[in-house]
Structure 1
Amino acid sequence: MGTGRRGLITAAVTVVCAVTVLAAPGTAFANPSPAPTSSATPSPTSTPSAPPTPVTNEELEAVREKLDRLYHDAAVATDAYNAAEEKAEKQSAEIVALAKKIVQGKKKLKKLKDRAGAAAASQYRTGGLSDEAQLMLSDDPQEFLDGAGRVIQGQRATKGLLAEMTRAQKDLELYAKDASAQWEKLEANRKAKAKAKAKVKKQIAAAEKLESELETEEKERLAELERKAAQEAQTEWLDSGILDEIDGEATAQGKRAVEFATAQLGKPYEWGAEGPDSFDCSGLTSQAWASAGQGIPRTSQAQWQQLKRIDTKDMRPGDLIVYFDDASHIGMYVGDGTMIHAPRPGRTVTLAGAGSMPILGVVRPGT
């Protein structure tokens, strides 16, 4: 393994939080071989290259921590992308609804104007005399009395027509103003969505590049370190005695949500995905509860902010466990100290210890 690989690991040790494009890969973790001589034939006194320097567990641990941060940042960006996409979809629907109202409003205003035009034409045909004037010129008392009622009705109808035309015109102006505002919001969210998408790709590419620099044996050791870290966190959580307090039973809705989630085991993680072939973490939880007849917010942060919060000791299968201080990851509790989640790129929907990551809190969809 050449200096490029060694430099990459060193960079991971010293700059764990940075998102960088690390040194180009070499072929083995080792000190560089002596530079070849200009002689066409090797010197009989040349010494063999030094054996590859093994990657220490400390260096692999630094790589693991860096990968955790890269994928965590990717998860945050994914949440931002999902939120922007959800808002854009709602705004698009609102614009469509406003467009329909505008079309309907224009039709209504046209009908009102036609009625007003018909009334004006009628007045023209009677010589320009108002209904009141024609009534006063009548010689028939009964006709006068009958006409008086029609005049009052006509006056009311005219006032109502004018008021309705005014309202229709104001509604059209309001719809047009709202549509313009929604277009501006839609464009802003499209930009936010594109920015978040670029950040997700950057974080994932950096993580994949870092992992690609490792040999098969090193990847296996790295995976073992990841399992060990998760197991230690889970053991610490269980040692707190929390399972002695958790005894809630799933509701009918919760059971359906759990059944949906467990049916997705083995499907790949894909950021921004809501199934049916792949999921991200909140895509899995939102679709699981949708299958149970309960709509919930799309992103892990929105699920944390908007759903009912409960104590961890009170959780039951189907409840959602939110992880990390920024609510950037979420899984579904399935019982016996276990949760199901879509972990990160390169992984599949899987079961894991409920305490294998830092728990921010627990939320409950439904009742």
Structure 2
Amino acid sequence: MHRQTSGPGHRAASVTAAACAALGLGAGVGHAQPASDVRQAAEQHISTLYAQAEAATQRFDADEERIAQLQAAINDADGQSAQTRQLLDTLDGGLGRLAAQQYRDPDYSSALALLFATHPDNYLQRAGMNDRVAALDDQQIRVAEQAQRQLDALSTLGEQELQELQAARTQLVSSRSLIQAELAQARQQLADLDAADQQAVTHALAQGATGDGLGTSVPAQAPSLGTLLTTVASDVSQGIDVPRAQKAIESAYAELGKPYIWGAVGPDGFDCSGLMQHVWSAAGVMLPRTSQEQADAGQTVSLSDIEPGDLVIYFSGRTHVGMYVGNGLIIHAPRPGSAVQFASVTSMPISTIVRPDGS
């Protein structure tokens, strides 16, 4: 059933073939096996790829955040280094230059002593100079020396780590490209099905029938914003900040229908953790960037104690996150090809539930 491809698509085609083979399906699966087997193979393959893409997105976001933080630290160190150099420059003149040279180069004093020893007429001049050098602010020199050493070490370490992170990010971009190729091949597999099978597979993926829950939507049950905001006040029993929770939910509601976009934090699209960071920022609470970090960004609560505004972290790797909005629902950005939408709070395996600090 697969069309023959070459170039970049060939690897993705091989992955698809391998997935079908793992399910006991041959290359001519569309003609040799029952339609139910074809649908099951397509559903499982696409579901697996979506889960891989979601995990890769969170790793990508984490490295991108670390790169930004490290770059800021390096820039700060450069600024401090400039101040330190300015301080040292104040010692670069006359006797100050000699003092600075001695502090920079311990061997300089010996060389100077030898020089003076060969010119006896300069003994008294040397004695006067030593008195003036001794009067310099030794503590200031030691502070400058320590600061310079620290900044040099920070700069060296920072540049090394930045190179490593940039290499890691390059690898993640490459991995993401591969996953996108696999998704494209999976979609082609879906397109090769007849109309009835396409509809069945698409419906199964949208309803989370493959078991990952990422596509589950509840358009028939979608409540109005007014209902959700009323629910916040009526459901609260744990003393949360009602106005902040309402603001976060109002912000999330406003993003419904916007597309899932790799690594995005808005305003035109979001990934799962980017959406959570965006909506809680509107309520005055700054969350960390990734779902793994967000899992540790507040008080852990049980499902029985969940309140509107709580973050629900999913899967064992904590690779997905949504926000509980009441009525048994979350709002989340599921995966590539989807949009911000409602889902049941239990539509995916829950790892932990977090009440953000400050909420």
Please give the secondary structure, in 1, of the residue aligned with 2:337.
coil
Distance 1:113 1:224, change over 3 A: same
In the other structure, the counterpart of 2:264 is 273
In the other structure, the counterpart of 1:284 is 275
Which residue of 288, 292, 301 maps to 1:297? 288
Cα pair 1:320 1:330 within 8 Å, conserved: yes
Which residue of 209, 215, 219 maps to 2:185? 209
- What is the CA distance between 1:170 and its match in structure 2? 2.4
Please give the secondary structure, in 1, of the residue aligned with 2:285.
coil
Give the number of the structure whose alpha-carbon radius of gyration is greater.
1
Q: How many angstroms apart in 2 are the aligned matches of 1:311 and 1:158? A: 67
Which residue of 69, 73, 82 maps to 2:61? 82
In the other structure, the counterpart of 1:48 is none
The one-letter code sitting in structure 2 at the alignment partner of 1:205 is: A
Distance 1:297 1:365, change over 3 A: same
In the other structure, the counterpart of 2:77 is 98
Please give the secondary structure, in 2, of the residue aligned with 1:347.
coil
- What is the CA distance between 1:130 and its match in structure 2? 6.8
Cα pair 2:15 2:182 within 8 Å, conserved: no
Residues 218-233 of structure 1 mapped to structure 2, 5 A cutoff = 218-229=197-208
Q: Is the deviation greater in 67-76 or in 158-167?
A: 158-167
Q: How many angstroms apart in 1 are the aligned matches of 2:166 and 2:17? A: 39
User: Does 2:46 match 1:67?
Assistant: yes
In the other structure, the counterpart of 2:22 is 15
Q: How many residues align?
A: 301
Distance 1:2 1:177, change over 3 A: closer
Q: How many angstroms apart in 2 are the aligned matches of 1:2 and 1:294? A: 49
The one-letter code sitting in structure 1 at the alignment partner of 2:178 is: K
Gaps of 5+ in 2: 6-13, 100-123, 217-233
Cα pair 1:61 1:225 within 8 Å, conserved: no
Distance 1:10 1:205, change over 3 A: closer
Residues 299-338 of structure 1 mapped to structure 2, 5 A cutoff = 299-338=290-329
- What is the CA distance between 1:353 and its match in structure 2? 1.0
Cα pair 1:301 1:328 within 8 Å, conserved: yes
Distance 1:129 1:64, change over 3 A: closer
Distance 1:116 1:163, change over 3 A: farther
Q: How many angstroms apart in 1 are the aligned matches of 2:159 and 2:97? A: 38
Which residue of 154, 161, 176 maps to 2:152? 176
Please give the secondary structure, in 2, of the residue aligned with 1:214.
helix
Please give the secondary structure, in 1, of the residue aligned with 2:90.
helix
Please give the secondary structure, in 2, of the residue aligned with 1:265.
coil
Please give the secondary structure, in 2, of the residue aligned with 1:362.
strand
Residues 127-276 of structure 1 mapped to structure 2, 5 A cutoff = 128=125, 158-159=134-135, 161-215=137-191, 216-229=195-208, 247-248=235-236, 251=241, 252-276=243-267
Q: Deviations over 1:35-86 (max 9, x none)?
A: xxxxxxxxxxxxxxxxxx8x62343123212211111111111111111110
Q: How many angstroms apart in 2 are the aligned matches of 1:75 and 1:203? A: 10
* Identical-pair percentage: 30
The one-letter code sitting in structure 2 at the alignment partner of 1:102 is: S
Cα pair 2:30 2:38 within 8 Å, conserved: no
Cα pair 2:323 2:330 within 8 Å, conserved: yes
Q: Deviations over 1:92-139 (max 9, x none)?
A: 00000000011110001112444853999xxxxxx84978xxxxxxxx
In the other structure, the counterpart of 1:50 is none
Q: How many angstroms apart in 2 are the aligned matches of 1:331 and 1:82? A: 16
Q: How many angstroms apart in 1 are the aligned matches of 2:141 and 2:272? A: 52
The one-letter code sitting in structure 2 at the alignment partner of 1:167 is: V
- What is the CA distance between 1:230 and its match in structure 2? 5.4
Q: How many angstroms apart in 1 are the aligned matches of 2:351 and 2:149? A: 47
Distance 1:119 1:223, change over 3 A: closer
- What is the CA distance between 1:10 and its match in structure 2? 7.3
- What is the CA distance between 1:218 and its match in structure 2? 3.0
Q: How many angstroms apart in 2 are the aligned matches of 1:129 and 1:8? A: 81
Please give the secondary structure, in 1, of the residue aligned with 2:312.
strand
- What is the CA distance between 1:3 and its match in structure 2? 8.3
In the other structure, the counterpart of 1:360 is 351
Cα pair 2:16 2:182 within 8 Å, conserved: no
Q: How many angstroms apart in 2 are the aligned matches of 1:81 and 1:231? A: 25
Q: How many angstroms apart in 1 are the aligned matches of 2:44 and 2:210? A: 16
Give the TM-score normalised by the residue count of structure 2: 0.73
Distance 1:323 1:230, change over 3 A: farther
- What is the CA distance between 1:278 and its match in structure 2? 0.8
Give the TM-score normalised by the residue count of structure 1: 0.71
Q: How many angstroms apart in 2 are the aligned matches of 1:282 and 1:305? A: 13
Cα pair 1:75 1:200 within 8 Å, conserved: no
Please give the secondary structure, in 1, of the residue aligned with 2:257.
coil
Distance 1:159 1:207, change over 3 A: same
Q: Deviations over 1:231-279 (max 9, x none)?
A: 9979xxxxxxxxxxx9436622222111111111111101111111011
Distance 1:98 1:310, change over 3 A: same
